[in-house]
Amino acid sequence: MGRKIGEAKPLVHIADGVLPAWMLVAGFLATSALLYFSLYKTTAEEIPKVSLVTAALFVASLAHFPVGPTSVHLLLDGLAGIMLGRRAFASVFVALALQAAFFQHGGLTALGVNALNMGIPALLAWQIFQRRLSFELPNREFIFGALAGGTAVLLAALMVFAELLAIGEGFREISMLVLASHVPVILVECVVSGSAAGYLARTRPEMLCTMNYAQI
């Protein structure tokens, strides 16, 4: 992104050297606070599921789809929220750190901001999915899973869009491309997250998060 547009990097990952120092520092401070919230009272029994979802988030970045001068890929941050609840933020952070270290998807200095861009939508997806418990609907896991997955991608794209606009008019074109390119990703993630949530509800309901804010 930014200086690396011509290299077809994934749009949702902000590279080093794009954002101003104040935004990078603020990103790491906010990420540190949310990591504490995410990991607070984590039990040993939760580690295998968190690791599984983290691996899925990491692998999702390997399949890119070209969009103009860059590319997009599945985010799965909504599905992470559906399965992990507040643990999803830590899972997203680790996956992004590995992607930056091994594949240069995003930058290490921008890791805090990138974690917010995917981690906050994952937490929102968790809360959206929890709302299904208030409704007696057929296929409610599919419906709310699809809503959570699509909303997570939309929010991630909007956050990147806002950050790029905030640093100058020179990024207006790429910020618009961020939104436009993620419209098909939103639709795909609706189907993926909804289908996964529906399947897990039928076969492995323990894989879905039942945690709420009262359990922190």
DSSP result, 97-145: HHHHHHH-SS-STTHHHHHHHHHHHHHHHHHHHHGGGG---TTHHHHHH
Query: Domain range spanning residue 138?
Result: 2-215
Pick left, alpha or beta for residue 158 (phi over 0 → left; psi -120 to 50 → alpha; otherwise beta): alpha
The CATH number of whichever domain residue 89 belongs to comes to: 1.10.1760.20
Task: Express as a percent the part of the chain with pLDDT over 70.
Answer: 88
Structure tokens at 212: 């709420």
Task: Express as a percent the part of the chain with pLDDT over 90.
Answer: 60
158 HSE (CA, 13 A, CB side): 9
Provide the number of structural domains found in the chain. 1
13-27, 62-76, 126-140, 187-201: range with lowest mean pLDDT: 62-76
Q: Who wins on pLDDT, 10 or 199? A: 199
Q: What are phi and psi of 139, to 5 degrees?
A: 60, 35
- pLDDT for 214 equals 46
What mean pLDDT do residues 167-193 have?
84
| Number of DSSP helices (H) and strands (E) in the chain, helices first | 7, 2
* 7, pLDDT greater than 70: no
Return d(Cα 11, Cα 215) in angstroms, integer: 35
Tens of pLDDT, residues 67-86 = 554 567 788 999 999 999 99
* 4, pLDDT greater than 60: no
Average pLDDT, the chain: 87
Tens of pLDDT, residues 118-160 = 999 999 999 999 999 999 889 999 999 999 999 999 999 999 8
32 contacts 114 by C-beta, under 8 angstroms? no
- pLDDT for 183 equals 87
* 65, pLDDT greater than 90: no
88 contacts 77 by C-beta, under 8 angstroms? yes
Specify the pairing of strand 70-72 against strand 65-67: antiparallel
